[in-house]
Amino acid sequence: MLDRAPGGVDEASLLVAVQRRIDHPTVVRAARAMSLFGEHAAGWLALGAAGAALDPTRRREWTTAAVGVAGAHGASIALKQVVRRRRPHDPRIAVHVGTPSRLSFPSSHATSTTAAVVLYAGLLRRSEATVPLTSLIPAMALSRLVLGVHYPTDVLAGTALGAACALVTRRVTERGRLGRWRTR
């Protein structure tokens, strides 16, 4: 059954429990705002474009990071088409936002958020900014549960996929820099 995580855990019941604990109008409004920001990775891509525009000395790095975010988002969409897991449909689950598709695994919001946070955090000038930035990963993941549009394993898989895509982007970028350095 697709509502169960490996080991037979009833994910619909976990989702209902999360919603019962933190289902508050303020929380739902914040989750909806995060959903809008993360839709199609648009907010994260806009931040990457802003970084490229405002930090001309590292424009290439910001652009590469934004491309990594777009690639992560694309990977999540492709994986959704392969897995074809339907979004939560248990009548106990409150759905608080519309979605562009009926497919849920992995969470594209969790994927693009994780990729963006990992890639953009490395470009920030002050290390203090990375702590609030990294808190956005669990916040976005939790928001998908609050909104009732993903199972817990959807957001866990999305987070893992986003981290993997970010690491691949960093490795490719580092190899490119080393290659240019060696040829000089």
What does 117-164 look like in DSSP terms, one character per residue?
Answer: HHHHHTT-S-GGGHHHHHTHHHHHHHHHHHTTS--HHHHHHHHHHHHH
pLDDT at 181: 38
Other CB atoms within 10 A of residue 32 CB: 15
Who contacts 118 (Cβ-Cβ below 8 Å, separation ≥6)?
162, 163, 166, 167, 170
pLDDT at 125: 64
pLDDT at 105: 95
End-to-end CA distance of the chain: 57
**What's the chain's average pLDDT?**
88
Q: Which residues of the chain have pLDDT under 50?
A: 1, 178-179, 181-184
pLDDT at 33: 95
pTM (two decimals): 0.87
85, HSE (Cβ side, Cα atoms, 13 Å): 25
Give the Cα separation of 86 and 102 in Å (integer).
6
Domain range 11-183, its CATH number among 1.10.606.20, 1.20.970.10, 3.30.750.24, 3.30.1330.60: 1.10.606.20
pLDDT at 155: 96
The answer to whether 137 and 34 have CB atoms below 8 angstroms apart is no
pLDDT digit string (tens) for 73-126? Answer: 999 999 999 999 999 989 999 999 988 899 999 999 999 999 999 999 888 866
Angle between helices 59-83 and 152-183 (to 10 degrees): 140
pLDDT at 5: 55
